[in-house]
A = this chain, B = another copy of it.
Amino acid sequence: MNKTITVLPGDGIGLEVVNAATAVLDKTGELYGHQFEYQFADIGGTSIDKNGTPLPQATIDTCLKSDGVLLGAVGGPKWDNLPGSERPEKGLLGIRKALNLFANLRPVTGHKSLTDSSTLRKEVVDNVDLMIVRELTGGLYFGEPQERREVDGEEAAVDTLQYKKSEIERIVRQAFELAKVRRKKLTSVDKANVLESSRLWRETAEEISEDYPEVELDHVLVDNAAMQLIRDPKQFDVIVTENMFGDILSDEASMLTGSLGMLPSASIGSEVPGLYEPVHGSAPDIAGEGKANPLAAIASSAMMLKYSFGMHEEAAAIDRAVSTVLTDGHRTGDIAKEGETILSTDDMLEKVLEAL
């Protein structure tokens, strides 16, 4: 197959890690007879510096004309003091909305050889394998009004948490589809004892569940979910939740296995292209030094093959290569323990290419 991929390096270590990911994609293409073509475009702080905006229309257009989008990372202290509407993160929120990427998939799995670096006990996190499905284009992030106003004669600020039933339906359906091909367990997280939007969420999840009799659905309150993720993460298979709860819980979950530097994510909509990015940030402190861990970006490109291109075998090959490299004890600085040899981004990439 021939596929066009938009690459958005973004800020900090973004460029280094997407470069490693495209090298892995090229090699995979060679092995399986595919051709990947890349178009680079600007986003985030780098784009603010260059174009005066974190998300130029040209970037959106380029993305829309491609089959998949690979993003590095956005943000950094350099742009932290800009007003809200001009910050790098606006680029991220903007592209989610522009491409209608309503589903954010964050798999959390631990590489056995790394559970030592988790702050949780080995027996609690060994073999954790869960997937958080976060709604990405609704809720508090985009609800209107979002404004300052005067209330009782003083300054106040307001945000709006709104969900339409169809927005809940499509994300819950997505989560059921994923659970169906995994361990068939779906946990819907809400705050139905307090929020009206959560009550609509829960009702809707119940309705959709009738189309998936083979999947077990249960409902957990968000405060309890935050506890259960620490108490016993292995109880979970797929978790589905609204935007803000998903933001909090998926970051919490990413700390469980000691594999933060390895975690990929996918943001997908009903039509192509999906957007794939590592969970880690832009790490401005080590940017440009060749120290970045490229494995999360590489794993993100594997998700692209799987979810956007339907190349399941190819994706599995990349995942296996990443696993092999870790089992063989290769480490970048972020995951090395005292005394272990530290590989550069390029060396680590080399190891993955060899393993492929």
**Counting CB contacts under 8 A, is A58 at the interface?**
no
Enumerate chain B residues within 8 angstroms of A222, measured Cβ to Cβ: 247-248
**Counting CB contacts under 8 A, is A64 at the interface?**
no
Bound form: Cα–Cα A298–B197 in Å: 37
A103-162 residues at the B interface, CB under 8 angstroms: 119-121, 124, 140-141, 143, 146-148, 151-152, 154-162
Bound form: Cα–Cα A89–B192 in Å: 11
Enumerate chain B residues within 8 angstroms of A192, measured Cβ to Cβ: 84
**Counting CB contacts under 8 A, is A97 at the interface?**
no
Q: Is the CB of B155 within 8 A of A162?
A: no
With contacts A119-B120, A120-B120 taken as known, whether A194 is within 8 angstroms of B227 at the C-beta atoms is: no
Residue of B nearest to A142 (CB): B194
A149 to chain B, nearest CB (A): 8
Copies assembled: 2
| Interface membership of chain A positions 208-224, coded 1 if the CB is closer than 8 angstroms to chain B and 0 otherwise | 00000000000000111
Q: Is the CB of A158 within 8 A of B146?
A: no
Bound form: Cα–Cα A192–B157 in Å: 12
A156-203 residues at the B interface, CB under 8 angstroms: 156-166, 191-197, 199-201
Bound form: Cα–Cα A141–B159 in Å: 13
| Interface membership of chain A positions 223-238, coded 1 if the CB is closer than 8 angstroms to chain B and 0 otherwise | 1101101111000000
A252-293 residues at the B interface, CB under 8 angstroms: 252, 254-256
Q: Is the CB of A160 within 8 A of B163?
A: no
Q: Is the CB of A155 within 8 A of B164?
A: yes
Enumerate chain B residues within 8 angstroms of A121, measured Cβ to Cβ: 119-121
| Residue in B124, B158, B161, B166 whose CB lies within 8 Å of A196 | B158
Q: Is the CB of B164 within 8 A of A154?
A: yes
Enumerate chain B residues within 8 angstroms of A255, measured Cβ to Cβ: 227, 230-231
Q: Is the CB of B148 within 8 A of A164?
A: no
**Counting CB contacts under 8 A, is A205 at the interface?**
no
